[in-house]
Chain A
Amino acid sequence: MERDKVIEVEGLVKKFGSFIANDHLTFDVYRGEIFGFLGANGAGKTTAIRILCGLSRPTSGKVLVAGFDANHPEEIKKRIGYMSQRFSLYNDLTVKDNIELYGGIYGMTMKEIRPRTEKLLAKLSFNQYGDTLIGSLPPGIKQKLAFAVAVFHDPEIVFLDEPTSGVDPITRRQFWEMIYETASRGITVFVTTHYMDEAEYCDRVTIMNEGMIVALDTPSALRKRYNSSSIEELFVKIARHKTETA
């Protein structure tokens, strides 16, 4: 059975002058899966995610996100959520203010926002924080709220750009539980990370190196193919292989 494709990328090239940041990327992402994007800094992850989010245009190639072409990002933007590697809530607004702001930006009415906010805070057991300024909350709670806000408007896809950088292991663990829960609601999760252990949590993983996709499969299939006990080991092998053939 053909699975429902929510992102289709074929021959994506992105050049900055003579520098090729994305070199003929081709991949599909299926609805409801957790899709990992792995690579060292400068491998081209951020460039690719910016194009998928409509922040930047491809130089050439076909990019469809939620069924819309990346050259017309307005439609895409309505259907996605985004959480950047930097903290993206407003410290000088309360938790509820922030939720209302992002809900409002995505076209939700206060009638829809209010009950959903209550439900969300109850689910996270953050009821007591509703009227607290974001700036006075501990980092772990902020991070979880940022994610909850990114999927508040029920996007088709949520893009997480290194969401767990600089977060303690316990929060990372809880954070990934939230990601699983989100995916089970049918929201596709597109996540970039440089924590190799997190790659194991993904349904499928893409490994990028120097602007190209060097591997794409489920974590277990990749481990088997490269005869490695972990993604981390596999990643080192691929990188070494690259430099040897270069």
Chain B
Amino acid sequence: MKKFMAFVKKEFQHIFRDYRTLIILFGLPAAQILIFGYAVRTDLTNAGIAVLDNAHDVVSAELITRLDASEFFHIKYFLNTYDEIDPAFKKGKIKAVIIFPDDFAERLTREGNATVSIIADGSEGNNANLVTGYTTAILNDYSAGLTKQLTSAMPVIIPEVRMYFNPNLQSHFMFIPGIITLILILISALMTSVTIVREKEFGTMEVLLVSPLKPWQIILGKVAPYFFLSLVNVIVILLMAWFVFDLPVKGSISLLIAECMLYILLGLSIGILISASVEKIMNAIFISALGLMLPTLLLSGFIFPIENMPKIYDYVSLFLPPRWFVEIIRSIMIKGAGFGYVWKGTLILAAMTLFFMLLSARKFKVRLGEGGK
């Protein structure tokens, strides 16, 4: 045990002495969260919208002026027919179309309520939500003003929200679970495979193998610090999600952390498997980046909703750990789901972890038993 601790200590020394590793470890998640978050925010100051005003009355004119004057929107197109909506969206420069019905002001005064349709571009989930939110706020603000002037029953403007492209708005707040998934795979698989392969490439692995340390102690000693750092990272990301984006964890935090630990183990065993298969650091980076990061980004549902993919990718993604993990994290964080809802994904991740661990253990045994050269 003492020998093992001496070894683990050295691994920490490597990490803390190499500031580049530290930057990757802690700078990357912070940067990613801020970039994603920043992108979400900038899009919403001065977002382009289009207006289809069938009413052409005083109230609609007043509302249009208010929308345009707000810091959130500027009106890019005035549409004349419903047929112009689709091309306006497809040109891609607008986030939403606001539609006033033809008898708008009349209804509002006579019946006390009227409907404004908001059609938002659902392909950018966060934006769509914010656009409809701000529009609704402006409408409410206006009707509240009216209430003060009139003594009669309060006139209500009912926003009727619809999504173009993505009716159920399923990419909502996908990016925090996505970033956790990406970062954990990055640290646990990429960094462990690199750190193990580095020992091989520099020839220090041989010296370690000649030492009284057992092979499993060497591997465990190499990955233990990364397990610890990954967990710290998860906590940092969760805190940022909470304080920067107001996205607290709705479900059980201990369940979330436990799921993260499972996923880290999975990443570590993939990293060990990679390190057992290659001799050069560049190859380890290449395999991790191409084989793990790209599928995580593209096929996990993190950026592109799986539902919108061709069926074949849907089936492929079933074999990718990130897909299951993103789903689990999203359920726990956003929907507040308990273990009863995520047990299936958890079981699949656990099975995958076991599979990769056995595979890498076997691979290492083969290599060490009849040592390469």
Contact status A55-B206, CB under 8 Å: yes
Roughly how many angstroms separate A214 CA and B271 CA in the complex, as a whole number?
Answer: 45
> Is B208 interfacial (CB-CB < 8 Å)?
yes
- How many Å lie between the Cα of A159 and that of B10 in the bound state? 24
Which of A88-96, A116-124, A174-182, A186-194 is near enough to bind chain B?
Answer: A88-96
Q: Could you tell me the dominant secondary structure of chain B's interface residues?
A: helix
CB of A82 within 8 A of CB of B13, answer: no
Q: How far is the CA of A100 from the CA of B210 in the complex (A)?
A: 17
Residues of A near any B CB (own CB < 8 A): 16, 46, 50, 53-57, 74, 77-78, 80, 82-93, 97, 100-107, 109, 133, 159
Question: Does B149 sit at the interface, judged by CB under 8 A?
Answer: no
Q: Any chain A CB within 8 A of the CB of B134? A: no
Q: What are 28 of the A-B contact pairs (CB < 8 Å)?
A: A55-B209, A55-B210, A55-B368, A77-B210, A77-B211, A80-B210, A83-B207, A84-B203, A87-B203, A88-B206, A90-B10, A90-B14, A92-B17, A93-B10, A93-B14, A93-B17, A97-B10, A101-B6, A103-B6, A104-B6, A104-B7, A104-B9, A105-B7, A105-B208, A105-B211, A105-B212, A109-B2, A159-B210
Please report the C-alpha to C-alpha distance between residue A91 and residue B2 in the assembled complex, in whole angstroms.
Answer: 23
**CB closest chain-B residue, reference A86:** B203
Assess the A105–B210 pair: CB atoms within 8 A.
Answer: no
Q: Which chain B positions have C-beta within 8 A of A92?
A: 13-14, 17-18
Smallest CB gap from A90: residue in B? B204
Distance in angstroms between the alpha carbons of A84 and B3 in the assembled complex: 21
CA of A100 to CA of B3 in the docked complex: distance in angstroms?
Answer: 11
A71 to chain B, nearest CB (A): 12
Can you add 11 more A-B contacts, CB < 8 Å, to A46-B373, A88-B206, A106-B212? Answer: A53-B210, A55-B210, A55-B371, A82-B211, A84-B203, A90-B14, A91-B202, A104-B7, A104-B9, A105-B3, A105-B211
- Chain A nearest CB from B233 CB (Å) reads 22
Let me know if B309 is at the binding interface, CB within 8 A.
Answer: no
Is B213 in contact with chain A by the CB < 8 A criterion?
A: yes
Binary CB contact string for chain B from 1 to 34 against chain A (1 if under 8 A, 0 otherwise): 0110111011001100110000000000000000
